[in-house]
A = this chain, B = another copy of it.
Amino acid sequence: MTERISDAEHAIMEVLWKQSPLTATEVADQVIEHKGWSLQTVKTLLSRLAAKAVVGTERDGRRFQYSPLVERDTYLTGVSRNFVDRLFGGKVMPLVAHLAEADELSADDIREIEQLLRELKK
């Protein structure tokens, strides 16, 4: 049962997964331009993540260094499975079929996926 991470929190996590540990200000620098959030908002999100033990804090003088405690892969696996379960009865095929039919898959995408599947079978 990985702790639930909201959309806004997820944006913070992406920054920390790319690089860590970081201070709140450093995280804010990375994220504010995309998101248009204030520093306070970033700090709130970091606190909430820390409260859920999804990021860890280490005191460093008068500030904190934040680091992810959950790996990106673990998180992605969880949400992906949840997504596929809820919307496609747990089967990946209908998802791929759906994306394909909705023209969300380019010819390149298809080639890439085929290549990947060939690799998997070995």
The interface-forming segment of A26-34, A46-54, A58-66, A83-91 is A83-91
B contact residues around A83 at 8 Å (CB):
83
Within 8 A of B (CB), among A99-116: 99-102, 104-105, 107, 109-110, 112-114, 116
Q: Does A18 make an interface contact (CB < 8 A)?
A: no
Known pairs A77-B98, A77-B104, A100-B117 / 11 extra A-B pairs, C-beta < 8 Å: A7-B86, A80-B104, A81-B99, A83-B83, A84-B104, A91-B109, A92-B105, A92-B113, A93-B109, A93-B113, A114-B117
* Residues on A facing B (Cβ under 8 Å): 7, 10, 73, 76-77, 79-81, 83-84, 86-88, 91-93, 95-102, 104-105, 107, 109-110, 112-114, 116-117, 120-121
